[in-house]
A and B are shown apart, each in its own frame.
Chain A
Amino acid sequence: MLTLHGVSKTFRLGKESVRALDGIDLGVGAGEFLTVIGSNGAGKTTLLNVIAGTCWPDSGRIAVAGQDVTAWPAYRRARFIGRVFQDPRQGTAPHLTVAENLALAAQKGPRTLRWALGRARLAFFRRELAVLGMDLEKRLNERAAYLSGGERQALAVLMATFTRPKVLLLDEHTAALDPAHAERVLEITDQLVRAHHITSLMVTHRMDHALRVGSRLVMMHKGRVLLDLGAAAKANLGVEDLVGLFRKVGVVDDELLLTDAKACAAQ
């Protein structure tokens, strides 16, 4: 469903240069749910950006559903690709209402002069919102800005999935939420992804989350994929084993501590 071939990206800041992606080869089959972990600066966000088209690789090719999209601008890829950002404010338009945000997401192709909020559509939105169990179906006419971070992120996950994208990209989308909301949004994500068999990549710093959901686990370090575990291998793994694996592949301790600290802070 998604293939990356030799994708590299180097950022240059004056004399310094950072190789954020170092010849990534990755194939993700239809319906696979990848969790992606790695220390800060490993290149996880850059990987998602390159797939979404908000950042151009220096070399390599990207294909979605057999179609080479390397040269496509982000808005064109968006027809196939759903995305939820770490910052809840990025995934929704604050001054549009809940219903209007959903309407924006409901029609990813060319827009027409049809009413954005037709009766049939509103009924559909209510049904979909009810699945979240957050009573958002009663707040269709409220502006997204007035929702809590968790509610807004749940709305963003719904928006990103309900057009059934071929690929869904989630970048630490529960990191900015309080523990209860983080759990709820993770649950919702897992539920929607599995219900609709959406091929997904979820970046997270929470090792327990990376193990709990998904059918495959990928560890990145310094722009490379260091570890790629299938469902079976992943099922037998605990958080401790994962930390051990981190050490074994040469992630130095202080880098790891950073991720650990972040995970603890989140818990």
Chain B
Amino acid sequence: MALFLAAVEQGLIWGLAALGVYLSFRVLNFPDLSVDGTFPLGAAVTATLISRGWDPFGALALAAAAGMAGGLWTAALSTRFRIQGLLAGVLTMIMLYSLNLRVMGRPNLPLLGRPSAFRTLSHLTGLPGDWAKVLGAGLLGLGCAALLIALFRTELGLALRASGDNPTTAQAYGLSPAAQLTWGLALSNGLVALSGGLAAQYLGFADIGMGIGTIVSSLAAVIIGEILFRPRGVGWGLLAALGGSVVYQGAIRVALRYGSRLGFTAADMRLLTALVVLAALVAPAWRLRKEG
């Protein structure tokens, strides 16, 4: 039960990052690697502000804003300076590593005994801590997914989707591909940083290394969601990414608990995750070849 709850909580919290990655990879068709920098940026900003006495919700809002700035930066590298998408993301990620250290002032910032969004929620509702965490993660995860689903049904959201789907068509209907990429990446990285900020409050610390592999684990969540739920359309795609994130976190918990019997340690998790993503990426091509 505790394992199940942990999977749901973490799946929803890290699922916010999966929503962001779904937006950049699947909707905008832009392989944005800056998330490995904007996730810990969100954590760093949140932890720093809370340790200075900020309200945890205000800290989250500022974390999201910082993430959006990171997305704007990557978009600027790509559209203004014509740097290739992958490289633009990597550059942002590396720059943010230093910036995050500056923000925190040291590599690890504990938040023990500090207020958190989950604790506030527990006070407000009278729920025990664990359930408050599920509630908080659920509210934010599902709330953001719902907002995105609604956004995608508006003219603005349609513009974003069209410009990722077919830039030539989008341009012929009055959309600037650069402008669409810019606000799309801002939104995507805002979500990722929000995820990072919430993760810091959940874990009780921010760490300079906590962003490593965000892109891979988020992509794993998106892909697992697509394989398990076979979503039709972007709305279901977003929900599938959240679901995929829960499944992924559950699998990681199980692997951590029982994997030791097979000789796995926590250090092997990244390798395993990467292998899962690799398998998911290769499988469709392999199946196609087999079918002829």
Residues of A within 8 A of B (CB): 52, 54, 73-76, 78-79, 82-83, 85, 89-96, 100-101, 103-105, 107-109, 111-117, 159-160
Contacts and interface: CB of A to CB of B under 8 A. Distances in A.
A108 B166 CA distance: 16
A64 to B, nearest CB: 14
Given A104-B159, A104-B162, A114 B154 contact: yes
Contacts, number: 85
Interface stretch (B13-21, B167-175, B283-291): B167-175
Contact of B158 (A89, A91, A100, A159): A100
Interface in B145-195: 153-159, 161-162, 165-166, 168-177
B153 A74 contact: no
Contacts of B176: 73, 75-76
Given A75-B174, A78-B172, A83-B172, A92 B156 contact: no
Given A73-B176, A79-B174, A116-B158, 14 more contacts: A52-B172, A74-B172, A75-B175, A78-B172, A83-B172, A90-B166, A91-B172, A92-B169, A95-B165, A101-B162, A108-B173, A111-B156, A112-B154, A114-B155
A113 to B, nearest CB: 5
Nearest to B165: A93
Q: Is the interface of A mostly helix, strand, loop or mixed?
A: loop
Contacts of A79: 174
A50 to B, nearest CB: 15
A74 B155 contact: no
Given A94-B165, A96-B161, A112 B172 contact: no
Nearest to A81: B172
Nearest to A95: B165
A102 to B, nearest CB: 11
21 contacts: A75-B171, A75-B175, A75-B176, A75-B177, A78-B172, A78-B174, A83-B172, A91-B169, A93-B169, A93-B170, A94-B165, A96-B162, A96-B165, A104-B159, A104-B173, A109-B174, A111-B155, A112-B154, A112-B156, A113-B156, A114-B155
Given A75-B174, A79-B174, A112 B155 contact: yes
B155 A85 contact: no
A54 B158 contact: no
A167 B177 CA distance: 22
A164 B277 CA distance: 47
Given A113-B155, A115-B154, A78 B171 contact: yes
A79 B172 CA distance: 8
A103 B155 contact: yes
Contacts of B174: 75-76, 78-79, 108-109
A265 B275 CA distance: 50
Contacts of A75: 171, 174-177
Most chain A CB inside 10 Å of its own CB: which residue of B156, B168, B170: B168
Contacts of A107: 155
B174 to A, nearest CB: 4
A54 B159 CA distance: 19
A73 to B, nearest CB: 7
Contacts of B157: 116
Most chain B CB inside 10 Å of its own CB: which residue of A76, A101, A104: A104
Ranked nearest first, the 6 interchain pairs of A and B with the lowest CB-CB distance are A111-B155, A108-B174, A93-B165, A93-B166, A78-B174, A116-B158
Nearest to A54: B171
Given A93-B165, A96-B162, A116 B153 contact: yes
B33 to A, nearest CB: 23
B173 A105 contact: yes
B158 A103 contact: yes
Given A75-B174, A75-B175, A104 B169 contact: yes
A82 B174 CA distance: 10
Nearest to B172: A83
B171 A116 contact: no
Contacts of A113: 154-156
Given A76-B174, A116-B153, A90 B158 contact: no
Contacts of B170: 93, 104
B166 A94 contact: yes
A104 B171 contact: no
A83 B156 CA distance: 22
B233 to A, nearest CB: 8
Nearest to A73: B176
Nearest to A92: B169
Nearest to A109: B174
A116 B173 contact: no
Contacts of A111: 154-156, 158-159
Nearest to A114: B155
B152 to A, nearest CB: 9
B131 to A, nearest CB: 35
A114 B156 CA distance: 8
Interface in B266-284: none
A117 B233 CA distance: 15
Contacts of A78: 171-175
Nearest to B161: A96
